[in-house]
Amino acid sequence: MDNVQPKIKHRPFCFSVKGHVKMLRLALTVTSMTFFIIAQAPEPYIVITGFEVTVILFFILLYILRLDRLMKWLFWPLLDLTNSIITAVFLSVVAILAMQEKKRRHLFYVGGSLCLTAVIVCCIDAFVVTKMMRTNLKRFLGIEFESKLSPAKDAYPETGPDAPQRPA
């Protein structure tokens, strides 16, 4: 018997779920920073969002150029997860402070709303990264796992085309 492991087909980063989430994070943060600049917000708002844009661009370039595969001495998913959590904390503080200005400065409020949306996307990004980490850990440990496509199939086994027939 062959004990050949299936070859994992790697999708380009831009077409993966992780890539889409990172691009959405980047778009929301850049737009938020743009609204802060137009609204002439205090400098810390612009600096924090600008720093987050830089970090997100770093991760996007890292994954597009596949440098995470080249530099294996760093555990990139954990670094990515840490970045998502820290970004969520910083942007939530910025969003809360910016959204208190609803009556006076509307563009400042819009920038805060976009920061809050970016926080939600950061949480989704953290979930995607941890899901990938769990899947890779299970594969490394050799634990067999099934992805259930239809939970209804297992919940109601007596229905369906291959269900046992009941006597009338």
What does each C-alpha distance from 43 to 30, 47, 48, 84, 116 come to in angstroms?
15, 6, 9, 23, 18
Domain that holds residue 79: 18-149
Q: Is residue 11 assigned to a domain?
A: no
Q: What is the pLDDT of residue 31?
A: 94
Q: Is residue 58 assigned to a domain?
A: yes
Distance CA 83, CA 126 (A): 9
At 27, list the tokens.
């778009």
Q: What is the pLDDT of residue 37?
A: 92
Q: Is residue 115 assigned to a domain?
A: yes
Q: Is residue 2 assigned to a domain?
A: no
Q: Is residue 85 assigned to a domain?
A: yes
Which residue matches tokens 């998913």?
A: 77
Q: What is the pLDDT of residue 106?
A: 83
pLDDT in tens, 27-63: 999 999 999 999 888 899 999 999 999 999 998 888 8
Q: What is the pLDDT of residue 151?
A: 54
Q: What is the pLDDT of residue 48?
A: 92
Q: Is residue 119 assigned to a domain?
A: yes
Q: Is residue 130 assigned to a domain?
A: yes
Q: Is residue 166 assigned to a domain?
A: no
Q: Please tell me the total count of domains within the chain.
A: 1
Flag residues of the chain having pLDDT under 50: none
